[in-house]
Amino acid sequence: MTDFEKLRGTWKQIAYERDGVKEPLDEKGWDPRVTFAGNAFMVTLTDGSIPIKGTFELDATREPKSID
């Protein structure tokens, strides 16, 4: 099974980090879910809106593996 296949599906977002800075968990009740399909992703909020979507790359050479 490839790393892309292991990510496939919808995941509950429990943490957020941007540019090395960890952000606090959301307290607004948005309960974000991230869906991965191939190298594409989208974040869906409880109201059904999609504030973020795009593509990503996996780097299996790093330890731990990373997503960009």
The contacts of residue 51 (CB under 8 Å, 6+ apart) are 43, 45
pLDDT score recorded for residue 48: 92
Cis amide linkage into residue 32, ω under 30° from 0: no
Please indicate whether residue 28 or residue 8 has the higher confidence score (pLDDT): 8
Cβ–Cβ under 8 Å, residues 42 and 15 = no
pLDDT digits (tens, 9 = 90+) for 11-45: 998 887 778 888 776 666 778 899 999 899 999 99
0.85 surpassed by pTM: no
Task: Compute the distance between CA of residue 14 and CA of residue 46 in angstroms, rounded to an integer.
Answer: 14
